[in-house]
Amino acid sequence: MAEYPPQLGARSPFTNNPSQRMDRSLRLSPFIYHRYIPQHRLRTTRIHRISQAHSVLTIPPTRVSSLSLDDLPQDFFSGLVAAGPVGPWPILSHLHLSSNDADQDPDKDAPMFGEMPALKSLSVNHLYVLDLTLPWSQLLHIRLLGVYPYEIRGVLARARNLLTLNASVVYGETDIPPLCLHQNLQSLTFSNRINKGSTFFNSLRLPALTSLTLVLDDRKVLTGNGGERFSKFDMHPFLSQSGCQLVDLTISDGALVETHILTWLSALPSLRILRLFKIKLYEEANPGGDFVALGPTIVHQMTQSSGWSPILPILEELTLEGTEVSFSPAVVFDFLRSRWGDERPPKEKGAASLQSIVWKTTGIAWTQLTEEQELVLGIWRMRGFHIDIQ
């Protein structure tokens, strides 16, 4: 059953009587409206589809601040278009549209909704987003699921004031992608589980980007001769050509080359937050081989010494979880001592940029912490540093 919230965050049963529905709306403050209809109830004649779609939205649009039409068949959206634009929606700030018929076209350039002058946030799942009539210049936050690279390029071209973009289930393309510049985007979440490699990602030019989250894939792909190899992901072209000053970088689930990671981090002196989850490594010269353990080079390069300036000099938070390493905890302790000092003489918490480390790794050389190491951790914790080393 549909739900009709009497106020933001609270919900009560939605009446089937339109007159009751409108009478109740007179007492409402702005609310979130979420609609889910079982698929079998919408696969009917075209006239009936139009009636159902229109009845869903016979609510007072002047009261709706967030509208979610979730997990609905394509017939519903076709009926909504045929019913004519519904609205205007003067306070609607978030719109979510989701189809359970993958990759459907909701009647190109036919508007579903009337004017939405307050719309700032958009979420679209498995619909061709470029065929939606939207106030693109207003949009600040967009989330896309089930999307082609050309759609992402189109969104970036239209939504020139966009600040955050989350693109998941990005499909592949065979053509070499053109360069895509967006001057204002600050935060990007990009899932690359389907679109193997980094060709499309490296076609993006995002000079204002400060936060990047990558969800990759560590599975091998088939080669032409029937073999398998890891799909190369190297974002150095993106970093060097965008010229962005990343502050926050998160990478999950990728099969990567250690020297590539070192190159990326060396190009990011502005980075303050680094999170690596379930990263696996392989040798670039042997992309069809097995995984290898992460060596100590990256940690050594982050370790301050009189001989060189470290990479990531202003890093504040470091997380490494679920990765196999080839070195002992002593390597990490040397890094932390270079940033925090030992018990004699102590470095004050305020004088160090690094404030937090979460390190949960495995490996033959990765042993249980010694009593001396546990003692040093206790001293650092007493100074206010957050430490979780396992």
User: pLDDT per residue over 307-325, tens digit each?
Assistant: 778 999 999 999 999 999 9
> How far lies 322's CA from each of 136, 208, 390, in Å?
40, 31, 11
**Nearest CA among 5, 61, 8 for reference residue 30:** 8
Residue spans of the chain under pLDDT 50: 1-29, 36-50, 106
Q: What per-residue confidence (pLDDT) applies to 46?
A: 42
Which of 184-195 are b and which e, b meaning 16 or more Cβ less than 10 Å from the residue's Cβ?
A: ebbbbbbbbeeb
User: pLDDT per residue over 178-220, tens digit each?
Assistant: 999 999 999 999 997 766 678 899 999 999 999 999 999 887 7
Which of 218-227 are b and which e, b meaning 16 or more Cβ less than 10 Å from the residue's Cβ?
A: bebeeeeeee
HSE-CB at 186 with a 13 A cutoff on CA atoms is 6
Cα separation, 9 vs 354, in Å, equals 38
**Beta-strand runs (E) in 176-240:** 180-181, 187-191, 204-205, 211-215, 220-222, 228-230
Q: What per-residue confidence (pLDDT) applies to 105?
A: 53
Cα separation, 296 vs 302, in Å, equals 10
Q: What per-residue confidence (pLDDT) applies to 13?
A: 28
Q: What per-residue confidence (pLDDT) applies to 64?
A: 87
Q: What per-residue confidence (pLDDT) applies to 43?
A: 41
Give SS3 for 217: coil
Q: What per-residue confidence (pLDDT) applies to 4?
A: 33
Q: What per-residue confidence (pLDDT) applies to 109?
A: 56
User: Is cis: bond before 13, omega within 30 of 0?
Assistant: no
Q: What per-residue confidence (pLDDT) applies to 54?
A: 58
**Nearest CA among 106, 34, 100, 94 for reference residue 69:** 34
